[in-house]
Structure 1
């Protein structure tokens, strides 16, 4: 299913005249330098090809379409027209000079084989270079002096004929490459698992590059290199254990590498790299999804580091505004087809291979509805005006990680489970709620994000607390856990007013966890303390106001008939937290309104 979807997307892009997706036999790879050579094959200079990165902070290799890159392991195998310094120049700093010379010899042999009978100036110039180049004195060549350090890092190199142009773009040379590729030793024919046709099967699939945490040379999705993984009769035949045609292997890896090289349209969740696409060549869908998954991107406005389709920006802003105001989203604009298929794929590193964390398929309209529902579930009154109404998934997951932890990444399993719940509209994982409650106990702090996550979890996973799962304070609710949370917020306010906020530790620091879990053991103590706090702040008028609020809440609790509960279940503790958060926000909001 995954490979078929990727092959289909490759074919959609290949048919689009505005797409620059490579065709069969070619690949797009990062190239750092071009060697400028004369017709006689003399090295005249080195031309830097690096370009500024997306944020403009550093230079990165320019991605160029070149003849398909070979998949390498420990053996020596040269690519055509584009290689690193070990092959193109016979120099590196690996400390294995004999092996490096063999790399150059493999490069020279391949180019002689393909270009020997090609009648064009560029081909003859390149053959002159590889046949005349002095490997023994290469590192001391004057033209390389300023670039050796970077060349030694494995930077890819192409060739340019002085005064003529790039050799890797010459049509006559590329035709010779295609003939060589077609006439090279044939692969074994089998039934392809992707297309169902009887075709040449790829023994090795091209590497996938751009997954964060994976090897820099790339990793494989389909690969067998141990007897334990092989089918009967398929010893040492690797890809033949899961037969995929050469065309399908090329197509899915090419389009996946293209998406992974596009920083504008991929997201990171913990150790998972997420890519998404629609069955359409339009960039609109990816722009829309990228902003929809990460609302933080919109806060930069016109200063965003990415260029976005204006229609997609306007549509996402309109939907977010409706969600923030609690309005019905309703119909969308005509900027997209809501019935087009939309895919989301999560990839994570795993040694020399890649793990599929998740893969979802649905209509684009359903994707919008499911993610919109997630944001609606999260909607919560903010603590501060400068906070965003909606926040991204990575920010949500960040709330599950201790700020003191050396590893700031959320659990990859949790990240995948949460995203799956969002995209399918199913229950949030219990681990999300448990992690948030654990952080609250440890930090004694409830911010906008944590409160929103608790509300969303209980709203979607439980039918017992609907009346208190609101955006702001519900003073009419008599849910005991919620009202106890409200009471704790008022008791804390009374203490702060009495001490003029000059305390080293508050009742929240000392008692919040116990009050949340075992109210009967804590609230009698807090109520006795509150009388001292109220009397101390009465002269400022705060004491009387706090006493009045406490009395109203105690009337709802009616503790003479219904004593404080000995224990609260975990979900009830979440409701307690919401009551505390809502009441505290209401208290300080009123103070701010008075000051204004």
Structure 2
């Protein structure tokens, strides 16, 4: 995507300084300015129009100053009506300012039918002729229709509106400032205020429309000047900046926005470039694996040297824009960083033959609270929009920054995920992947980053302890038929404590596993066929060998007791690696000692998590 300078409108060069707004009322006049009707555009039966309909109207962003728009504005401006939430003196001044602007429209365009009709309407009493509906508010939007045609369809209206906005924002008349624009490098009329604001829906955390740059008071600037004296930008560049940023933030294919996360990250590529690699960060797991498998085995299809990846991470504070990140880097470097991100979190999959890589939304989702299913129902992660989800508010920003620029993740990310796993008693592929990348990109790591899959050469006590815990769990499961599984399993009883202090759980497991092996062996004698007996005996022997081998590795270092957060994460990864490797081998017939049942099935499709 390549955003080029425009004349400053949001949607159409013929309608500068405009915006889609929800319009509640339509004031209908005939061509002579006679009042016809005040039509309520709200439709209670239509969810999209319960409070009015979206229409493109003049908009230039205003704060405390009285600044009327042309053809469409609030009830207080067009009709002069004052409700309990507004001040009568201010409403009176706003209404007079709107009429004055309409008179200027008629004066500069005397042949315009809409301007003549509107002034005729006000000259014969205006708002006094309009009956008040039962329910209305001073800040609801009204649009004026003359002889069946919206006044905002008039080319003369937009011509005047562009002039009015630029006059207001640059001082106008003899007060206009001229100087060198920091954006385009040309000398021209400079803005005192930005001509438009961003819709609050595009900026997380904003309570109202957001100003791109604002200095309404002297205390807002470092030299105690008002306006944009310390940030010189010309009229054209100011309008272009706001319009282009709004276009970028509103484009779902070039933004990453997640409910209850405090930032919105938008990205684009210069010189008409595009990048399927960057877009992978918001794709589904299957598409990610398919694309990366092809990328790793193919020759780069194009030269990326002339392209730059630009990205901005923003949030809102009331009506102010907060820029968390603004980075520009060569596209080739950005794509390499994203590919490394996927490599740093890829993890062995229990139920698929390839390693799993995950989109940002799924890594973010799995950092929240897990709700187990009830009476056989599937479990789920609490959706992103839920306040009870327990996710760091800045997690999306941190993950995206790390993915795009290779940055480390703060240590509290790892601590948070470990805590959620211990609390929920739930480990799956996305969580194991998030643990792995958080450990690999830990700012002060003291342990060796784990491999994507089972690593027999990794002898770290915490990692080996996690593997041993998984084998002990599998041994208990193999000892009992599916219908006789204990109500409280070894995992249920010990996993949460074992993550932080493996010694207690492993000591208990060391005392229990011989009885489980004996139960497997005794059940072999009850098998009706020689094949069944041999399979059970082989399972008992294989499990005994694996447990004793892992215990031997631990005996050299002694069983670990209370361990650090990094070591806890290694325990979790070791547990997942062993469990996933066992299940993969069991499915392929290479590990008959592992019991595979519905308890091991994935609780939900990995590409169908509720956001």
Name the TM-score class by shorter chain: 0.7 to 0.9
1:582 aligns with 2:577: yes
* Aligned equivalent of 2:123: 131
Which deviates the most, 486-495 or 507-516? 507-516
What is the rounded CA distance, in whole Å, between the counterparts of 1:572 and 1:381 in structure 2? 20
1:483 aligned counterpart, secondary structure? helix
Residues 41 and 214 (structure 1 numbering): CA distance in 2 closer, same or farther, change over 3 Å?
farther
How many pairs were matched up? 545
Q: Equivalent of 2:451, from 469, 482, 487?
A: 469
Q: Structure 1 353/546 Cα, relative in aligned 2: closer, same or farther at 3 Å?
A: farther
Q: Are the aligned partners of 1:538 and 1:544 in contact in 2 as well (CA < 8 Å)? A: no
Secondary structure class of the residue paired with 1:349: strand
**CA–CA distance in 2 between the matches of 1:70 and 1:107?**
14
Distance 1:273 1:560 in 2: 50
1:161 and 2:150 aligned: no
1:554, CA displacement in angstroms? 2.5
Q: Does 1:83 align with 2:73?
A: yes
Output the CA distance in 1 between the equivalents of 2:123 and 2:397: 53
Query: How many Å separate the matches in 2 of 1:157 and 1:10?
Result: 33
1:95-110 superposed matches below 5 A: 95-96=85-86, 98=88, 99-110=90-101
CA distance in 2, matches of 1:49, 1:293: 41
What is the CA distance between 1:582 and its match in structure 2? 1.9
1:456–1:230: structure 2 CA closer, same or farther, 3 Å change rule?
Answer: closer
Write the deviation string for residues 157-202 of structure 1: whole angstroms up to 9, x where unpaired.
Answer: 4333335x44323233433445556674342334444344444332
* Structure 1 portions without partners, runs of 5+: 1-5, 300-316
8 Å contact from structure 1 (residues 78, 110) kept in 2 = yes
Q: Would the aligned equivalents of 2:255 and 2:264 in 1 still touch at CA under 8 Å?
A: yes
Query: Matches of 1:50 and 1:261 in 2, distance apart?
Result: 25
Question: What is the distance in 2 between the residues matched to 1:36 and 1:42?
Answer: 9
1:440 equivalent in alignment to 2:421: yes
User: 2:331 is matched with which residue: 347, 364, 370?
Assistant: 364
- The residue aligned with 2:363 is 396
Instruction: Indicate the residue corresponding to 2:20 in structure 1.
Output: 29
Instruction: Note if contact 2:503-2:561 (Cα within 8 Å) is conserved in structure 1.
Output: yes
Alpha-carbon spacing, 1:408–1:464, altered in 2? closer, same or farther (3 Å): closer
- Counterpart Cα distance in 1 of 2:131 and 2:548: 84
**Secondary structure of 1:523's partner?**
helix
TM-score normalised over the length of structure 1: 0.78
Is residue 229 from structure 1 mapped to residue 220 from structure 2 by the alignment?
yes
From 526, 530, 543, give the equivalent of 1:549: 543
Distance 2:301 2:189 in 1: 45
Task: State the 4+ residue runs in structure 1 displaced beyond 6 angstroms.
Answer: 46-51
Equivalent residues in 2 for 1:258-273 (5 A)? 258-269=247-258, 270-273=261-264
* 1:402-451 CA-partner distances (Å, limit 9, x unpaired): 45883437334443232222111233332222221121222222111111
- Mapped contact 2:8–2:243 kept (Cα < 8 A): no
Unmatched 5+ residue regions in structure 2?
371-381, 525-535, 590-595, 598-611
Instruction: State the Cα distance separating 1:396 from its structure 2 match.
Output: 1.4
Where does residue 292 of structure 1 map in the other structure?
A: 280
- Answer with 377-386 or 490-499: which moved more: 377-386
RMSD: 3.9
Could you tell me whether the CA contact under 8 Å between 1:188 and 1:201 is conserved in 2? yes
Q: Partner of 1:275 in structure 2?
A: 266
Equivalent residues of 1:427, 1:460 under 8 A apart: yes
Give the one of 73, 89, 103 matched to 2:63.
Answer: 73
Residue in 2 that maps onto 1:374: 341
Q: Cα 1:330–1:426, aligned 2, differ >3 Å: closer, same or farther?
A: farther
Kept after mapping to 2: 8 A contact 1:414/1:431: no
Counterparts in 2 of 1:36 and 1:214: CA distance versus 1, 3 Å = farther
